[in-house]
Amino acid sequence: MERQRGMGRKGSAFAGLSVAITTPFKNGELDLVALRQQVQFQIDAGVQCLCPVGTTGESPTLTHEEHERVISEVVQAAAGRVKVMPGTGSNSTAEALRLTRWAAKEGADAALMVAPYYNKPTQEGFYQHYKAVAEAVDIPLCVYNIPGRTGKNIEPETIVRLADIPNITMVKEATGSMDQASHIAGATNLTILSGDDSMTLPLLAVGGEGVISVVGNIVPRDMLSLLKAFRDGDLASAQAWHAKLFRLCRDMLSLSTNPIPIKAAMKMLGRDTGELRLPMTPLESAGENKLRTTLTEYGLL
């Protein structure tokens, strides 16, 4: 049974599973061969969208040139077979605008814009930041609200204001607050995407339409199964998938800062070197042991 509310949301083309892909490194440099392999892995799994150069993609430690290169490479590798929504946010509006213009020029389908971090704008500052970028580009924008990283919440009243801007069509909801998500779902026509894997099912229940997933880097088909079960009205199956995925999702965010655990998991699974850039450091041995146990119990090792 399709939910009627979701059918009319203005970002519904991006409903479903988007995967926040990691940025592979080899000897300190971008590993573009591995990046293209990641893109193909996700396309083979049937995901709806790829989100490179976000938090999981270690965008804070990429140079501007590398950030742009990853966007271009992923768009080219996807070749229209799957949507691409790269991270283009910054705490500088001018920099966010430059990156978003680059994404649009290279053929990205949308842009994922994290809230300006560190400088902690006022709510009017948040509004003007997104408005400035939205008026300068014609691709859809997803407001990425993650106060645990940025230091300040974009309040729901501000997101309601932003929803009136035509090409602001989505919000990546990573506040952990079902009240905030419910407010946005009831007061706007935005497509709401979960920013926390373990909160995907609860968010779907209050009007969300999908997830931008970290765990999707290793088990995209399982997350797709959860989403399909919910969309088909099979709540028992959706709950079963939620229960199966929960510990894996929890480990990805609790063992260390994202993307440290997911890169460690991909290394264990033979899909990545596991390299990170400082100030990110590898998972410590106790965390590695716990992660290996989780992957083994899940059936991946």
Neighbours of 60 (CB within 10 A): 15
Q: Is 10 an active-site residue? A: no
DSSP state of 54: S
Residues 6+ positions from 29 with CB-CB distance below 8 Å: none
Q: Is 130 an active-site residue? A: no
Nearest to 14 by CA among 237, 190, 161, 135: 190
Residues 6+ positions from 5 with CB-CB distance below 8 Å: 185, 207
Bridge-based pairing of strands 210-213 and 191-194 is parallel
Which residue among 127, 144, 152, 263 is the active-site one? Answer: 144
Residue 144 belongs to what H/E stretch? strand 141-145
Burial class (CB in 10 A: 0-12, 13-18, 19+), 208: buried
The DSSP secondary structure of 168-204, one letter per residue, reads EEEEEE-S--HHHHHHHHHH--PEEEESSGGGHHHHH
Which residue among 172, 263, 290, 298 is the active-site one? Answer: 172
Q: Which residues are catalytic?
A: 144, 172
